[in-house]
Copies of this chain bind each other. A is one copy, B any other.
Amino acid sequence: MIKCSVTVDVVVFTILDRRLNLLLIKRLAKPFRGRYALPGGFILEDESTDDAAIRELREETGVRDVYLEQLYTFGAPKRDPRGRVITVAYCALIPPEQELKSSTDASDAAWFAVDDLPSLAFDHAEIVECARTRLRNKLAYTNVGFELLPARFTLTELQSVHEAILGWPLDKRNFRRQILHSETLQPLQSWRQTGRKPARLYRFKQ
A102 to chain B, nearest CB (A): 22
A79: nearest residue on chain B (CB-CB)?
B48
By beta carbon, the residue of chain B nearest A140 is: B141
Interface residues of A in 34-78 (CB under 8 A from B): 41-50, 52, 70, 72-73, 75-77
Copies of chain A in the complex: 2
A5-B3 in contact (CB<8A): yes
Which residue in B5, B49, B75 is a CB contact (below 8 Å) of A75?
A: B49
Q: In the complex, what distance in Å separates the CA atom of A47 from the CA atom of B84? A: 10
Q: B76 and A88: CB pair below 8 A?
A: no
Distance between A59 CB and nearest chain B CB, rounded to angstroms:
14
Within the assembled complex, what's the spacing in Å between the Cα atoms of A42 and B41?
23
CB <8 Å contact, A46 and B77: yes
Give A1's nearest chain B residue, CB to CB.
B42
Cα separation A3 to B7 with both chains bound (whole Å)? 10
The verdict on A29 contacting chain B, using a C-beta distance below 8 Å, is: no
- In the bound complex, do residue B4 and residue A47 qualify as a contact, i.e. CB atoms below 8 Å apart? no
Contacting pair A48 B72 (CB below 8 A):
no
**Roughly how many angstroms separate A143 CA and B82 CA in the complex, as a whole number?**
40
* A50 CB, min distance to chain B CBs, angstroms: 7
Return chain B residues, CB-CB under 8 Å to A6: 2, 4, 6, 75, 86
A119 to B153, CA, bound (A): 47
What 0/1 readout, one digit per residue, does chain A (1-23) give for beta carbons within 8 Å of chain B? 11111100000000000000000
Pairs A-B, 5 closest by C-beta atoms: A49-B75, A1-B42, A3-B3, A73-B73, A48-B76
